[in-house]
Amino acid sequence: MAQLGMNQRTLATAAVCMVLLCLLVMNDVASAERSLKDKEPEVVFKREMKPGVLARISHFLWQSGESSYEPVWPDMKFDWRIIVGSIVGFFGAALGSVGGVGGGGIFVPMLTLIIGFDPKSSTAISKCMIMGAAGSTVYYNLRLRHPTLDMPLIDYDLALLFQPMLMLGISIGVAFNVMFADWMVTILLIILFIGTSTKALFKGIDTWKKETMMKKVKISMTQLLLPTLSKQPSILQVPLLRNIYWKELALLLYVWVGFLIVQLVKTYVKTCSVAYWILNALQVPIAVSVTLFEAICLYKGTRVVASKGKEITNWKLHMIFLYCCCGIIAGMVGGLLGLGGGFILGPLFLELGIPPQVASATSTFAMVFSSSMSVVQYYLLKRFPVPYAAYLVLVATIAAFTGQHVVRKIIALLGRASIIIFILALTIFVSAISLGGVGIANMIEKLENNEYMGFENLCYKS
């Protein structure tokens, strides 16, 4: 019995130990389950947590390898689109050449809305049309003299100061055109154009008032007392070679040829390679060397902007630096938006006190070099169809020559050069409305389609 009692006590003890062991194991399992359950929401939360504001903005603006650019080149056929586009382009080139702005603000919407090119191809073809219109205008202006002084209508010193910086800005602007999204371009365009058109309008009103006062004075006084006023309504024509300053023209051609060589050599190197960036950097000393030469001469007084007449500007270093920056900005805007740099240079020249005819002729002269260079760059990037561009260049060339001839006759008849300023303001304002409207419409369409609207990769070959 005693033995039986001991066995029972042993079994009982073992049972108790087993129960305690089971309880401990169950407790550990329960603790582990509770731990997993406690951690599970945290894991789920981390998985569902949205990225921060900065991360979302960064993802919206830049996605590696993304490119939303798809070239759209309609077939070249004789239909209502090309007829209407040719008419709009004709008037745009005529107005733009007179105002000294090229007309790109009218060309780009016409090419996009009427003919049917994509925005970036429209920008490239617009540059081709600006080149044709500017070349025709310069050929016309090279035979004309200053309205009141014995000098060419084109101010070569003014061109030497701004043209190299304009071309440097063009190269930067073309790269930005590849990189920037359309909505970024639209916002920049609306702000810039409304400001410059308003400024030009006020300048035109002020010039109109001065012309009215001069007409009243002229009526009350004899031509002997005011001989210069009798020359105001007309501009003398001379043989073309007499108006060419070969030394200044050679410097301008040096910049153009230097930029052309850089662009051609770039086609043989890999995009975004070390050699590619070195070649791009070579454009800086080419442009700066000529502008620096002219700036030093103006600062020392060995050269003057003679088209201002008796009013000689005392050029300060900060003024020269500011004007050079304006030249770069004008080029950047031109390359980015497919416009002529005259949208900025024209109003700037007027603020410097340059006569409207000279301001228009000189800004157009500078645009011949810059627009032709941007055409080369866009051609190397294969951004436009050559047959379409060649036809539209012909239209713009004829229109510019016609516009110059008609408006010069009107100025000679009325004796009011302020007409050029009003045409400049009108062209810029119409460009702001048309280009801004097209840009906003494209932006809304992309938002509705959830398309990528960030920066493009400059090194991405589309």
What is the reported pLDDT for 114?
84
- Judge contact between 130 and 367, C-beta under 8 A: yes
Contacts of 136 (CB under 8 A, 6+ apart): 97, 396, 397, 398, 400, 401, 404
Q: Can you read off the two tokens belonging to residue 340?
A: 């002529």
442 vs 70: CA distance, rounded Å = 14
Question: Residue 96 carries which side chain, given as an amino acid letter?
Answer: G
Say what the pLDDT of residue 17 is. Answer: 53
Q: What is the CA 386 to chain-centroid distance, rounded?
A: 22
pLDDT, residue 311, reads 59
Q: What does DSSP assign to residue 93?
A: H
**DSSP-based three-state secondary structure for 152:** strand
Quote the DSSP letter at residue 457: P
Read off φ and ψ for residue 286, nearest 5 degrees.
-60, -45
Instruction: Identify the pLDDT of residue 250.
Output: 92
Closest by Cα among 97, 256, 276 to 167: 256
Smallest CA-to-CA distance from 197 within 410, 442, 424 is with 424
Cα 192 to Cα 329, 432, 436: the distances in Å are 11, 8, 11
- Would you say the pTM of this structure is higher than 0.85? no
For residues 134, 437, 441, 124, the Cα torsion angle rounded to the nearest 10 degrees is 10
Residue 38: per-residue pLDDT:
47
Q: What residue ranges do the domains of the chain occupy?
A: 79-212+239-449
Q: How far apart are CA 122 and CA 126, in angstroms?
A: 6
pLDDT tens, residue order, the chain (462 aa): 444 444 445 545 555 455 444 444 444 444 444 444 444 444 444 444 455 555 555 554 455 444 555 677 888 788 888 898 899 889 888 887 777 666 777 887 888 888 888 777 887 888 888 888 888 888 888 888 887 788 888 888 888 888 888 888 878 887 777 777 667 777 777 777 777 778 778 877 887 887 788 777 766 654 444 444 444 444 567 777 888 888 989 999 999 999 889 888 888 888 778 888 898 889 999 999 999 998 888 888 788 777 776 655 677 888 888 888 888 888 887 777 666 666 777 778 887 888 888 888 888 888 888 788 878 878 887 888 888 889 999 999 999 888 888 887 887 787 777 787 788 778 778 777 877 777 777 778 777 777 666 666 666 544
Q: How many whole angstroms separate alpha carbon 25 and alpha carbon 17?
A: 12
Distance from chain centroid for Cα 393 = 20
